[in-house]
Amino acid sequence: MIARICRLLVAAVLTVAGLGLALVPASAAQAGSAVTVSGTGEFSALRVTVSQTADLINQTVHVSWTGGAPTGPSGNFSTNFLQIMQCWGDDPAGPRREQCQFGGLAAQGSPVAGAWVRNRQVSYGDTLHDDAETLLPEPGKQAVVPFTSVTGTTTTQTGDFFTAGTTNEIPLAKTRLDGTGEADFEVQTATESYGLGCGTVVGGTPRPCWLVVVPRGTTEVNGRIAGQDYGHTALDSSPLSASNWQNRIAVKLAFQPVGAACPMGAAERPTAGHEFVAEAVLRWQPRLCANGGTVFGYTELSDATARSVAVSDKPGLDFVSDPVPPGEVPANRRLVYAPVAVSGLSIAFLTERQSAGEGVVPDAVWQRDGEPITELNLTPRLAAKLLTQSYQLALPLRQDYLARNPDFLTRDPDFLALNPEFASSGVLMSTVDALVPTLDADATAVLWTWINADPDARAFLDGKPDPWGMTVNPNFRGLSLPVPNFPKADLSCGGTGLLRSCVLDLRPLAADMHDAGRAISRGDTLGKAPTGFATADGKPELKAVDRQPQGQRSLLAVVDTATAARYGLPTAKLRNASGAFVAPTRDALTAGVTAMKPSAVPGVLLPDPLATAAAAYPLTTVSYAVTAPSALDSAGGAAYAQFISYAAGEGQTPGVEAGRLPDGYLPLPEGLRQQARAAAKTIADQAGKPVTTGAGETGGASAGAAASGGDGGAPVNAASGQAAASASVPAAAAAPVTSAKPAETGSRRPAAASRPTPASPVGPVRYVLAGLLLAGGLGAGAGPALLRLSGRMRR
C-alpha cells in the first residue's frame, strides 16, 4: 500500500498539461479528431464513433453507434449491448485483453445482466464453456484473465491498479430500438490510472492508449442463443472471454503529455485564485512555457483568499470575480484588473430514464429506460429545495419534520409541472440534492442571490409551504442570504450501533467543482455507508457507496460550465428574472455579460442574477486577473503581462489543443479583450514603481481615471468594443485600478436580511483547506512541482 501511495504521489507530481501529438488514423477528422470504426463478423453493421481521439486529458469522450440490435429483453441488458473499457498497448494492431482496465465494478453487482458479464473470470462451469478459450483453470480454481500493467506487473488481484472507486469501465451500454446508442466515457491518464500509463512520455512521445468496445449479441460463447437453446435469457460470459474478445473494436487514443510540457525545477511565477479559470489555465500553461517560456503555477483558492493574496506583500497574479473593496487596498498599492475568462456557474445533471417498467407504463416509455434525459428546468424555489436538505431521503433517516415532503425531486409536483417528461420516465430516480463544493466562491453567493430574489423561493425559505404542501427543512428556516458556501445545517444521523451513519457520511461535500462534476459523470455520490463492522477504535466502519449503475443514474452537481463540458454533463435551464428558462449557452453567456453591472472599481463588472434580459444566463461569471504592479519586480511584471496578453489573444481561440480555450468558456468579447491588453501594458510599465498621487508624492492614486479609459476617452462596451453611449454597463478600455480610499460598497455583497444564518458544520473544514492551499501554493521556492501537489489533480 505504501508503495502504491508513493507511485500515486509521483504521478501527481508529474501531472501537467502539455502539447499533444495526434496519434490518430489519417482518416480522422481534424476538427475534434473524431473516429468511426466498423464492427466485424456478426457485428459488421455496427459503426462506432468516438468524438475525440487526440489531445486528450482526463475527460469524457462521447461514444455513439449505429447498426446495433436493440438491447433486451425489456431493456434489462440481457442481450445486445456494448461493453466499453480503456486499455494500454504498444502493438499497432491493438491491445491484448490482459492490458485492459475492466472488472473493477464486478463486486458491486447489478440488478441486470448475467453472472460473469462484469468481471474477468472466463471459466463458467460445466453448463457454459468457451471452446476458443486458452486460459484454463487450475484444479480447484477459476480461470481469471490477469491484468498486466504498463509497469510490467501481472496480477489477478487488480485492486492495486483499479477498484470500483477508480475504474472508468462501462460494463453495460444500451442500444435503442432504432439500433443507435450513446455513452460518455471517461478517459484516464497516468495520473488517474498508473496501471495504464496513458500520456506518460516515452522517447519524447506521449504514450497512446486504446478505447475498446466489445459488442455483445444474443449468442453465448458456447454458440447457443440466450433464451432459446441456452438456458438463461441473459448472456453470462465476460467480454474478456476469448470468443467475445475476438469481436472487439479498438480505437487509438492520443494524449497530451503527462509530466513533460513544462520543465521540472524551473523557476515558477505563481498564480492563484478561484476555480473558474482552472480549465483555461490548464490548457494555457504548456504553450506559455514552451521553448523556454515562463512557467506559471496555479493554486486553487477561494475568491476571498485570492483577494487577501492580492493585497499581500507578494501578490503574484490572482483570479477573482469580485474586486477587492477599494477601502481595503493599502495606501501604497494600486491594483490592476484584467478580464481573462467568461464562464458560468451551473447545475449539471446526469439523469437516465427509469420508468415503472413493462406492464405498468406504455411500451414506448419503458422501452427507452436507460437513455439519458438531456433537458431539465429549475426555478429558484426548486434549487432552494435541493440545497436545503428538504426532500425526505436527503437524510439518513426519515424525520417527522419532513413527513409532508416528497421523497425526492422527481416525486415533487413542483418539479413535474415544469418537467413533465420525468412523470413517467423518472419514477425510480432518487435525486434528493446536488453535490456541491467545499470551497467558498463569489459565484455561490450569486446563486444564492438569484434564489433569494425570487418571492416564491424566499417565502419557502421563510417557512411558507409551496402550493403542494412541501416545507423547507426547519434547520434552514429563515436562512440569511447570500452566503458564499453551501451549509449542511441538518446533521441528523440514522441507524444504531455499527449501522449508524450521518448526513456528512452519506451526503458529503465535494472537494471542489471538478471533484463534483467528475463524480456524478461516473454515477458516484461520494457517499459512504456502514459495513456493519467496527474499525480498530470501535467506530462503525464505512465504505464507499456503490456507484449508480449505468442506465439508472440520477445525479446533480453545482459546477462551473467548463467542468460540465469536460465531463460531458448537460446543464439545467434556470429561470431568469424575465421568466425565461435559460441554459449557459454561448449566446446566453454573451447576454449575461452584457447585462452585468459596474462595481465600485471602474472597469470591473459584477454578475447581475436579477437582470431582466430574456436571453441572459443569470449565473454568468467574468474572471479577472488582479495584481499590484508596485509590488512586482520588472521581470515579474513582464511575465504577468505576457500571461494576460496570451489569455486575451491566442488563449481565446476555442479548441482542444494545448493553448486553446476549452469548451464551457465564452471567448472574451472584444471590449473585454481591449481592457485586458491595456491592463497588461499597465502591469509591464508600472512594475516595481511606487504609486504616486502627485508631484513626487507616494500613496494612493485616484481610480477615477480608469472610468473614462484612463486618458479621457469614452467608455468601451464589454461586448462590442465600440464606444458606449453611457457607462451603465461598460468595461473600460484602460486597465481598471483601485487604490486606497474611504471604505465604500465595492464588491457584490448584498445586505443580509435580519435572520440568523444556520451554523455551517463544514465551515472549519472549508477554511482549513483554503489555508493549506494558500500555505502550500504560495510558499517560496517550491518550483513547478508545487502546482501539481497543491492544485487540483486534473490529468
Domain ranges of the chain: 1-261, 273-345+581-747, 346-575
C-alpha grid cell, residue 662: 476549452
379, 510, 502, 518: which is closest to 435 by C-alpha?
510
Element (H, E) at 206: strand 205-206
Output the CA angle 589-590-592, nearest 5 degrees. Answer: 60
Provide the 3-class DSSP secondary structure of residue 250. strand
Q: Which residue has the cell 494558500?
A: 774
**787 and 259 Cβ atoms separated by less than 8 Å:** no
Pairwise CA distance, residues 785 & 795, whole Å:
14
**325 and 746 Cβ atoms separated by less than 8 Å:** yes
C-alpha grid cell, residue 403: 413527513
Q: Which residue has the cell 467543482?
A: 513
Instruction: Say if residue 525 is exposed, middle or buried (CB neighbours under 10 Å; 0-12, 13-18, 19+).
Output: buried
Architecture of domain 346-575: 3-Layer(aba) Sandwich (3.40)
Output the CA angle 263-266-272, nearest 5 degrees. Answer: 100
Pairwise CA distance, residues 223 & 226, whole Å:
9
Pairwise CA distance, residues 399 & 473, whole Å:
10
**352 and 551 Cβ atoms separated by less than 8 Å:** yes
Pairwise CA distance, residues 348 & 584, whole Å:
11
781, 789, 665: which is closest to 300 by C-alpha?
789
474, 467, 464: which is closest to 399 by C-alpha?
474
| Cross-strand bridge partners of residue 620 | 344
**773 and 790 Cβ atoms separated by less than 8 Å:** yes
The 3-state DSSP composition of the chain as helix, strand, coil percent (nearest 5) reads 25, 20, 55
Pairwise CA distance, residues 227 & 237, whole Å:
14
Q: Where are the alpha helices (DSSP H) in 328-454?
A: 363-366, 380-387, 413-416, 421-425, 442-452
**264 and 12 Cβ atoms separated by less than 8 Å:** no
Residue type, 550: Q
Classify the phi-psi angles of 478: left when phi > 0, otherwise alpha if psi is within -120 to 50, otherwise beta. left
Phi first, then psi, for residue 343 (nearest 5°) are -150, -150
Q: What pLDDT is recorded for position 106?
A: 86
10 Å Cβ neighbour count for 576? Answer: 26
Q: Where are the alpha helices (DSSP H) in 270-375?
A: 278-289, 303-310, 363-366
Q: Where are the alpha helices (DSSP H) in 522-616?
A: 561-566, 586-594
Provide the 3-class DSSP secondary structure of residue 213. strand
Distance linking the first and last C-alpha atoms of the chain: 22
Element (H, E) at 341: strand 335-352
Q: What pLDDT is recorded for position 790?
A: 34
Looking from the CA of 572 toward its CB, the CA atoms found within 13 Å total 28
**370 and 75 Cβ atoms separated by less than 8 Å:** yes
Distances (CA, A) of 546 to 104, 492, 705: 11, 22, 58
Element (H, E) at 183: strand 181-187
Architecture of domain 273-345+581-747: 3-Layer(aba) Sandwich (3.40)
Q: Which residues contact 485 (CB under 8 A, 6 or more apart)?
A: 438, 439, 440, 441, 444, 760, 762, 763, 766
Q: What pLDDT is recorded for position 717?
A: 55
Instruction: Tell me the DSSP string of 285-303.
Output: HHHHHGGG--EEEEEE--H
Pairwise CA distance, residues 766 & 777, whole Å:
16
40, 44, 64, 42: which is closest to 52 by C-alpha?
64
What pTM did the predictor assign?
Answer: 0.86
Pairwise CA distance, residues 763 & 439, whole Å:
9
**441 and 484 Cβ atoms separated by less than 8 Å:** yes
Looking from the CA of 272 toward its CB, the CA atoms found within 13 Å total 30
Phi first, then psi, for residue 222 (nearest 5°) are -95, 10
Output the CA angle 583-584-590, nearest 5 degrees. Answer: 125
Phi first, then psi, for residue 581 (nearest 5°) are -95, 120
10 Å Cβ neighbour count for 396? Answer: 20
Instruction: Say if residue 229 is exposed, middle or buried (CB neighbours under 10 Å; 0-12, 13-18, 19+).
Output: exposed
Q: What pLDDT is recorded for position 693?
A: 62
Pairwise CA distance, residues 456 & 342, whole Å:
30
Phi first, then psi, for residue 287 (nearest 5°) are -75, -35
Looking from the CA of 559 toward its CB, the CA atoms found within 13 Å total 35
- Sign of the Cα torsion 309, 315, 319, 325 reads positive
Output the CA angle 536-538-544, nearest 5 degrees. Answer: 75
Rg over CA atoms, the chain: 27
Residue type, 378: L
Question: Could you report the average pLDDT of every consecutive run of 10 residues in the chain (795 residues)?
Answer: 38 33 32 88 97 96 97 81 97 97 82 83 91 90 96 94 94 93 96 96 92 97 91 92 98 89 79 97 93 92 97 96 96 95 98 90 89 96 98 96 97 97 93 96 98 98 98 98 96 92 95 97 95 91 90 95 97 98 98 97 96 97 98 96 98 95 97 98 96 49 31 42 36 44 37 38 43 42 34 41
Helices (H) then strands (E): counts for the chain? 19, 32
Residue type, 371: E
Pairwise CA distance, residues 71 & 51, whole Å:
23
